[in-house]
Amino acid sequence: MKAYGRLLLSTLLALGPCLASAQVPVSAATQHETFLSSPDAKLVRNKKLVYDFWREVVDAGQIDQIDKYVAENYIQHNPNVATGRRALAEQIARNVKRQAAQAQIKAPVVAIVAEGNLVVVSLVSELPDPADSSKKYTTTWFDMFRIENGKIAEHWDSAVRLP
């Protein structure tokens, strides 16, 4: 059965370029408050922590708020950002002009899910089509956060190393 699985996977990967043109575009949800609900109060707190961190710090560049959301010994798995809360604050300060926080995350959100101490945010990512530079296509970007003692302690995403 393992050989069949490898064969199926290699076939799908080989057909990938052909199947990509048949892709259903990724679309964002408009009602973000539905993402922040759960019968489990801990999951609600964790999702709200990540959501508000994103709105205030990531989107609005309010790095003076970072201590409220991010643990000092924050671990970063993005290969383009150093680990630690200070390094994250410096990265955001370099890339985002301070502004008022909005009621919703600016990026087009597909979903926010939580399980235990993990929160995953999925976003629409629109990129230039390598087959036709006059066109764009959508895909999904994922960020995952680990919450510890009411703060973001660790982060993963799908970033690749930049030149």
C-alpha distance from residue 5 to each of 13, 17, 18 (Å): 12, 20, 20
Domain assignment present for residue 8? The answer is: no
Evaluate whether residue 13 is within a structural domain. Answer: no
Count of domains for the chain = 1
> Which residue range forms the structural domain that includes residue 53?
25-157
> Which region among 4-18, 101-115, 124-138, 148-162 has the lowest average model confidence (pLDDT)?
4-18
CA atoms within 13 A on the CB side of 77: 11
Note the pLDDT of residue 30: 81
Instruction: Write the pLDDT tens digit of every residue in 58-112.
Output: 999 999 999 999 999 999 999 999 999 999 999 999 999 999 999 999 999 999 9
Rg of the Cα atoms in the chain: 18
Asked if residue 57 belongs to a domain, the reply is yes
Tens of pLDDT, residue by residue over 120-143, are 999 999 999 998 989 999 999 999
Separation of alpha carbons 47 and 43, rounded Å? 6
Q: Specify the 3-state DSSP secondary structure of 159.
A: coil
Is 90 exceeded by the pLDDT of residue 1? no
pLDDT in tens, 19-69: 555 589 888 888 888 889 999 999 999 999 999 999 999 999 999 999 999
**CATH number of the domain that 56 lies in?**
3.10.450.50
Residue 90 is assigned to a structural domain of this protein: yes
Q: Is residue 15 part of a domain?
A: no
pLDDT at residue number 2: 58
How far is 4 from 89, CA to CA, in rounded Å?
47
116 has pLDDT over 70: yes
Is residue 48 situated within a structural domain?
Answer: yes
Report d(CA 137, CA 19) in Å as an integer: 13
**DSSP-assigned letters across all residues of 111-147:** EEEEETTEEEEEEEEEEEETTEEEEEEEEEEEEEEEE
Answer whether residue 19 is part of any domain.
no
With 0.85 as the threshold, say if the pTM is over it.
no
- pLDDT for 5 equals 52
* Residue 20 in domain: no
